[in-house]
Structures are given as C-alpha cells and as structure tokens.
A and B are shown apart, each in its own frame.
Chain A
Amino acid sequence: MASLPKPDELAGINYNPPRTGWRDTPVEFRRGTYCYGAKPKNLEAVGLPNPRDWSPEDQDWKLPENWKEIILEGLRERLGRFRSLQIFMDACVRCGACADKCHFFIGSGDPRNMPVLRAELLRSVYRRDFTTAGKIFGKLAGARDLTEEVLKEWYYYFFQCTECRRCSVFCPFGIDTAEITILARELLNLVGCNIDWIAAPVANCYRTGNHLGIQPHAFKDMIDFCTEDIEKVTGVKVEPTFNRKGAEVLFITPSGDVFADPGTYTLMGYLMLFHEIGLDYTFSTYASDGGNFGLFTSHEMMKRLNAKMYAEAGRLGVKWILGGECGHMWRVIHQYMGTMNGPADFLEEPVSPITGTRFEHARSTKMIHIAEFTADLIRHNKVKLDPGRNNHLKVTFHDPRNTSRAMGLFEEPRYVLRSVCNHFREMPENTIREQTFCCGSGAGLNTDEYLEMRLRGGFPRANAVRYVHEKYGVNTVACVCAIDRAVLPTLMDYWVPGVGVAGLHELVGNALVMQGENDRTTDLRGNPLHGREEGEDV
C-alpha cells in the first residue's frame, strides 16, 4: 500500500521550480494558461499555411516536414526587411531595465515573461543560425538550436505578450519587444501555429468585415436596436444611416461596441452626440469593425484588413474617417497606415464641420479619434453638458496601451472626462499615461479559455484601480478601447469587486443635454439618476 506523503512533502516545502536553466526547461501547456490552436477553416479562409486540427496540448503539432527551414528562411527574410529587427537582435546588452516592467512578469512571477528573456527566445535562435559567434560557440554564446520544444515555447510566450510596449518605454536602446513578438508571431503563422481567437476574427473580418462575422442586415439591426434604447432613455429618436454615399464622414468603430456590453452603451453615446451636433455621417456595413486582428497575425494580414476601411471610404465618397474608441485600430492607423495603405490622398484632411478645426496631424491617414473630435467640440462650447448626471460615478481613467504608447492620446480623453464628470481621479503616476499597465488581454488574448493567465497579467492594472477605489471611492474605470471594455469588467470582478467599466462616450452620452429630450431619470444603462447635486473633484 502506498504510504501517505508527509505533511511537509504534501505542502511542497521544497517547491522551487526546476533548477534547470530556462533554456532547458520545456513549457507545460496547462488549461487556463494557453489559447486554443487555430481551427483549419479559419486559416483556410485567408490562405494561411498548414491548416489542420491540433491542440497545443498534443505531443505532435503536425508541423510541415520542413518546418525548421520555413522558420529560419522566414527569419532571414524578415531580418532583411525589417532593419529594426536586426538591431533589436543585436543591440540588447541585458541591462535589465525592461525586466520588471511587464505586467505578465509582475503578475505571474514567471521570469520568461521578462521582456529581455521573451526576446531571448527568438534571439537565441538568431544567434545560432545568423551570427558567427553563435555558429562556432553555440551555447557558450547564448545560442540554441531551433527544435520543436523551442517552437512550443515561442507559442506559449509570444502569445503571452500583449504587445503593450511598456517595456520599450524603459529600454535605453529603444528595443521594442512588441515588434519582436509581432515578428515571432509572423514566423509561427508560417507553420500554422496561430491561436484561434486571432484566426477566427481575422477570417470573419476578411469575409464579412467584423470579428463575429455579423452580416450587413444584422449589423444594421443591432444599431437600430440601440437607437430604440436611446429613445427609451431620452425620448429622442436618432437615425443613423448605413452605406450612404456622399456622407461627409465615415464612422468606424470596433464591432464590440455594437454587440457586446458594456460597449453598447458607448455606441449609444456616439449616436446621441452625432445626432445632437447634426453630423453628416454614415456607417459602412462592410467596414463594420475598427478592430484589426491582422496586426496580431502578420504585416500582410494587417494591411489586408485595414484596406477595407479605405476601400469603403472611397466607395462611399466621404471626405474623411472618424474612428471610435478602439485600441489597436489606432496603432494600425497611427503607426502603419500612412505607408501601408496610404497616404489616403483620395480623401480630405479632416476638418470638423462643427468647429472648423483642421486636424493636421491626420493629413496622411485622414482619420481622427473620436476623443479628439469630442474634445474639440467641448472646447468650442458646441455641446451642452450636464456632468451632474454622472455624479453617481466616481471615475478613473485607464490609458489603453495602444492609444497611449502608439499614439500619445493622453489629454483629450481626460479633457472630455473632466467635462462630463464631476468626480475624476487619476491612478498612480507609474501606472498611467506612457507607463500605463495593459489590461492583460490585448493583442488577441481576450479569450475566455485564457482567463487565468489574463488575471495574472491584469493584476498590476487592477492593483492601481484598487488603490483609487479604496482611497477615493472610485467605482468606475473609464477607457477608450473595446477590448478594455470587454475584459476589464472581468478583471475588476475578480480583483476589485464593486468597480464597473464604461467607455468615454457612454459618460458623454449620460451628460449630453439633447434638444427635445425628456427629463432623464436614468443613465444609459437604466440605472436611476440620483444625487444630482453639484459634485466637487474628489
């Protein structure tokens, strides 16, 4: 009969991780800590290689016979195409400045999440095959062979990085680990190793224009549904148009705003604002998603999916594009679009028809962020606001990784927030603006099977929210990203119960005084409005 382990053994008194170095410790795919593999139909839909049924937990990943050649050739090609990659591979001196800046490292304690080590996963293979020292001295020069174990480790850790770039803010050489992750994911895609949560939205976006594959009639239907809700709350009937040729502005927002709570309340806010200022705008039922999971797949896929927005702008003959509250859409627009599918010379430099403000910074992309647009309206007193309607909310602002570090959008959302709320409090300085902590679910990792890992990665953000919640009674995190709106409620539920999540324009919608509206008794969610006394800045 087997004897019971002693209490010390059972409690795992000696439970340090294996003492082998990181290079020799294979990753373990345990449920909750990895994303499901891409389904073959989703790879086939966009012509990505090696479609097959597989799971990361399988021993055999059914890789193509010459997978190693494919990856190494892919790496060689990318080293030539992206000078930054070559520099990032060579320049790191392992100073450690980035090491403790990653939310996944901080939350999980797994040192392979230190950005320097995450990059080293790729760099070690680069050294082995692309540097003389590595070819000759091998392991002594920090090089290692590309094996299936290494590939599995790439999958585990490069799909455990939200490409948030917080580490790059601290790197003295400006090494951008996000870009390394982006390229490593490209390499994984060459042999069919994507995650399904990215592959499915990519396939859907490519065919029907949005992540869920919602067809035009259903897309329109959902927005009509939303206008009914607006009428219930305000008594005002707003009438958005779809695919209307000759509109001045094409409005594109993440599809999450259209069908997922609490994004839907943000959509209500947009529609109400546009109605109130009389904006001549239209939706496109094909460019029906600002989200672009192509960014998490490959540069080519990002370009393909981005193109639909401009194709639709051209087809409808609009002057410029207004973009909703999205995170990575803005990274694609702000950092890639100008030279990828642009410059969009067939459109006009955006000018607000209400204030006359010319948005010169968007001269190349012809697309501006709604926070910029609304901040400009408020600055020119073009909308009437009653911030007291948000008095039941004590708000803090979460800077999404993309709008902050890939766009520098700091002041506009804060300006809008201060105009529509009486109670606003910042989180601690080292957790906001360019140092913002990611929600832990970006870059295509916001899937439910990955929740445990997301909770680890989201802990540093939640910890800062907890601080303002306990100290100032903050009960709402405002944000300008659809993924944040989808995942922060979950994160808050676990780490800081009692704190809700709202899009910026949901709060605008609450505060917006509309012509002909009823005396509002509820906010956009149907919660009763009380305590409408003048608040002070808490």
Chain B
Amino acid sequence: MNLADLLTKKQAVILERWFQWFLETYPAETARFMREEKNRFANPVGSSVYQGIEGLCQELLQGMELDRVYPLLDPIVRIRAVQDFPPSRAVAFIFALKKVIFEELESEIRGGQISVEELLELESRIDNLALLSFDIYTQCREKVSQIRVEEIKRRSERLLQRANLVVDPSE
C-alpha cells in the first residue's frame, strides 16, 4: 500500500485528530462548544475551521492546487489572525498536521512501507501550506491596519472637505 492509499484509509481519523488538536488551542469550554454545536451560523469558528481542514485533507491527496487550497486556508487563517494568538501560534495548526500524520502512520513508516520520496513529497506539501498561511496571515494583519485607517477617513472626510482642508482640484 502506498502513502496515498494509507492516507485515504486513515483520512477520517487524521481529520478528527487534526480538528481535536485545533480545538485544544482554545479553553476547554470553548472547545466543547466548537465541537458540539453543528449549526454553522451558531458556531462559525468551529464550522469554518472544520470545513477548511476537511478540504485541506482532501487536497493533500489531490496535488494541492493553489486555486483550491487558498479558499480553504484563508477562512481559517483569517479567524486566527484576529484572535488572541501570536503569529507562530496562529498558523501552528499546519505543522500539527505533520505530527498527526506521522503518529498515525508510525508503524508503516518504521516498517519501511512508505518510500522516502513519498514522505518528502508529503512534507513538502505541508510546508507549502505553511508558507501560504504566512502569506495569508500577513495579508490579514495588513488588512486590519488598512481598514482601521479607512474607517477613520470615512468618519471625518466630509468634515475636512467642508472645511476646505482637502480639495479635489478636478472639481
């Protein structure tokens, strides 16, 4: 059995453990809520994350096309970027996937059933996810700064215009 087959076989358990790892980054009460509440509007964080990582698990087996991966990763990182996490912790969930997979496949790896090439390819796919998540994280933080400025502008721009403090020469 090659790595892809093994991952397919263990996909459900990998997803479950990855999600669990994710939930454990929150306090116990919150984790319980995020796991148990199934309505996506009542529990937008839990459901966005689950939906995202479920898709990412699929993508791991399907070549990780950027166009498909980005919309899965963005909602998760967008949430983590404004929650109470430093950057390292906000995107650490990507690395947790390695840990989960290697633990799940430990006996197969040690037993030599998976080739080094396959393992390196898997590692590299997850690393790419990590790199992409850095990009998204940074974009989100830049966005926060930008929208803060925009909001202040909207609040007072009319007053400035009226006071002739800003002038549009074309008008």
Contact = CB atoms under 8 A, between A and B. Distances in A.
Contacts of B27: 16-17, 109-111
B131 interface: no
Interface stretch (B5-13, B111-119, B144-152): B144-152
Interface string B78-107: 110011101011001001100100000000
A490 B158 contact: no
A486 B150 CA distance: 11
Interface in A9-30: 10-13, 15-17, 30
B89 A33 contact: no
Contacts, number: 127
B41 A463 contact: yes
Q: Classify the secondary structure of A's interface with B.
A: helix
Interface residues of A, number: 51
A173 interface: no
B143 interface: yes
Given A100-B43, A222-B162, A494-B144, A13 B96 contact: yes
B149 to A, nearest CB: 8
Interface string A253-271: 0000001111010000000
A419 B34 CA distance: 40
A108 B148 contact: no
Contact of B24 (A16, A463, A493): A16
Contacts of A324: none
B101 to A, nearest CB: 15
B44 A11 contact: no
A216 B42 CA distance: 45
B110 interface: no
Interface string A95-135: 00001100001111111001000000000000000000000
Contacts of B62: none
B129 to A, nearest CB: 14
A460 B41 contact: yes
Interface stretch (A70-78, A233-241, A392-400, A450-458): A450-458
Contacts of B41: 428, 430-431, 460, 463-464, 467
Interface centre among A33, A214, A494 (most CB of B within 10 A): A494
Nearest to A222: B162
Contacts of B151: 448, 451, 486-487, 489-490
A486 B158 CA distance: 14
A429 to B, nearest CB: 9
Nearest to B37: A100
A459 interface: yes
Contacts of B29: 99, 111, 114
Given A111-B29, A431-B41, A460-B44, A222 B150 contact: no
B10 to A, nearest CB: 21
Contact of A490 (B24, B39, B88, B150): B150
A11 B148 CA distance: 29
B45 interface: yes
Interface of B: 24-27, 29-30, 33-34, 37, 39-45, 48, 78-79, 82-84, 86, 88-89, 92, 95-96, 99, 140, 143-144, 147-148, 150-152, 154-159, 161-162
Given A12-B92, A108-B83, A108-B84, 17 more contacts: A15-B92, A17-B26, A106-B43, A106-B45, A109-B83, A222-B158, A259-B156, A260-B154, A260-B156, A264-B158, A428-B41, A448-B151, A451-B147, A459-B44, A463-B44, A486-B154, A494-B140
8 contacts: A11-B88, A11-B92, A12-B86, A109-B84, A259-B159, A460-B44, A486-B151, A494-B147
Q: Which are the 8 A-B pairs with shortest beta-carbon distances?
A: A463-B44, A11-B92, A109-B30, A111-B29, A12-B89, A455-B82, A109-B26, A261-B154
